[in-house]
Structure 1
Amino acid sequence: MNNKEYADIVLKELTHTLTAIDQEAAKQFVSLIDQGDEIFCAGAGRSGFQVKGFAMRLMHMGIHSYVVGETCTPNIAENGVLVICSGSGETKSLVNHAAKAKEMGARVALITINTESTIAKMADVVVEISAPSPKSAKQGDIKSIQPMGSLFEQSEGIFMDIAVMMLMEKRNMTSDTMFGRHANME
C-alpha cells in the first residue's frame, strides 16, 4: 500500500472511534474540567504523551494544569480533577493515582477502552474510545491496521483537542486569546 491508501484507512478508523464516543460522557468530561480548581493529567507511555499535550492546552486557556510525576506538580486537593488516559484502565501506577485522588476528595475522569476496569470503577466520568489495544482485555468494536494501541492513542489525543474546543466555546475563547500564554522561552 502507498501513503494515501494508508491515510484513507487510518482516517476512516479515526472517524469511527471519534464519532462513537458517547456525547453525554464527552459533555460530562468537559464540565468536570470546567469546574475543577486544578487539573492533574496522568498517563503512561504514548497515552502519557497525549495527556501532556492536553495539560499544555489547558494551561494555554489559563487553567491551572499539571502533569502527575513532574517535579513542580503540587498536591491534589478536594476540588481538583485527575484526568487519566489508560487503554486498559489497569496500569498499576495510574490505579494508585486514581485511588489517591479519590482519597483526597478529588474527582477522576478516565479516557479508556475498558469501561469495566479498576480505574473506571473509581472514576466520576468515563469516556470510552472503542479501539483495539494489546494491553486491554476489552478490544473495542473496530479492528485496526495500525500497530499495537496506535488507534486508541491517536483517538484520545484528538478527543482531548475536541474537549479543548468545547471548553473554548463555553468560555468564549479563541486561539488568539490563548496564544498570549504560549511559551516564549523556546
Structure 2
Amino acid sequence: MTLVDQVKKEINEVLDLVNEKQLDAVEPLITKDKRIFVLGAGRSGLMARAFAMRLMHIGYTPYVIGETITPSVQKGDVLVAISGSGNTKSIVELAEKAKNNGVTLIGVTSNKDSKLATIADKVIIVPGATKAGDGVKSIQLLSTLFDQTVHITLDVLCLKLSKRDHTSNESAAKEHSNME
C-alpha cells in the first residue's frame, strides 16, 4: 500500500467515526444574525482560519481570535474553539472566559472527555490522531490526521449551512477575494 493510500485510509476511518448528528446539532447555532468567532492554536488555528474564511464566503460575519481587527466577544456571539487534545490551556482558558461572558461555545476536539468537550454547549468529535495520542492512530506526524479531518468536517458543516441558507456556488464566489 502506498503512503497516499495509507493516508486516504486513515482519513476515511476518521470521517466514518464523525457523528453527523453533532453537525446537525451545531447548525442551528450558526446563523447570519450572529457574529461567529473562531479559536485555535498552531495547526488547529489554521483550520479555524480556513473555517472562518469559508463562513465569510457563504455570507457570515466571522472573526479570528487574536487578529488585530477582531472585536470583543459579547453575549449572544458564537465561539468555535478547536483543540485536538481538548486540553490546550490557552484555548480552554479563552473558551471558558467566552462562555462566562454569555457566548455559545462549540468545541471541536478529538477527545470527548477533554475539558473543552465538557464545557462546550455543543461538541463535534473528530477522532483523528493528535500529538497527545488521542484518536485514531496514524502514520502521519503529530496532529496531521486531526487537522486534515477537522478541515473536511468543518467544510461539511459549511456545506450544510450553505444548503440551509440557499447559498449558491456563484454567490459564494462573489465573496471570494478579488485582490489576488
**Shorter-chain TM band:** over 0.9
Q: Tell me what 1:15 maps to.
A: 12
Q: Tell me what 2:154 maps to.
A: 160
Q: Tell me what 2:117 maps to.
A: 120
Q: Deviations over 1:81-125 (max 9, x none)?
A: 100110111112111211121111111111101111112121011
Q: Tell me what 2:142 maps to.
A: 148
Counterparts of 2:116 and 2:54, CA distance in 1: 24
Counterparts of 1:123 and 1:18, CA distance in 2: 21
Q: How many residues align?
A: 180
Q: Tell me what 1:55 maps to.
A: 52
Distance change in 2, residues 1:36/1:113 (3 Å) = farther
Tell me the SS of whatever aligns to 2:70: coil
Distance change in 2, residues 1:36/1:130 (3 Å) = farther
- Alignment partner for residue 67 of structure 1, among 64, 67, 90? 64
TM-score by structure 1 length? Answer: 0.91
Counterparts of 2:17 and 2:179, CA distance in 1: 39
Counterparts of 1:35 and 1:114, CA distance in 2: 29
Counterparts of 2:34 and 2:108, CA distance in 1: 20
Matches within 5 A, 1:89-128: 89-128=86-125
Tell me the SS of whatever aligns to 1:58: helix
Tell me the SS of whatever aligns to 1:105: coil
1:36 is displaced (CA, Å) by 6.2
Q: Tell me what 2:79 maps to.
A: 82
1:62 is displaced (CA, Å) by 1.5
- Alignment partner for residue 39 of structure 1, among 21, 26, 36? 36
Tell me the SS of whatever aligns to 1:34: coil
- The one-letter code sitting in structure 1 at the alignment partner of 2:80 is V
Counterparts of 1:178 and 1:185, CA distance in 2: 16
- The one-letter code sitting in structure 2 at the alignment partner of 1:151 is L
1:76 is displaced (CA, Å) by 1.3
Q: Tell me what 2:126 maps to.
A: 129
- The one-letter code sitting in structure 2 at the alignment partner of 1:182 is H
Over the residues paired in the alignment, what is the CA RMSD in angstroms?
Answer: 1.5
Tell me the SS of whatever aligns to 1:144: coil
Gap runs ≥5 in structure 2: none
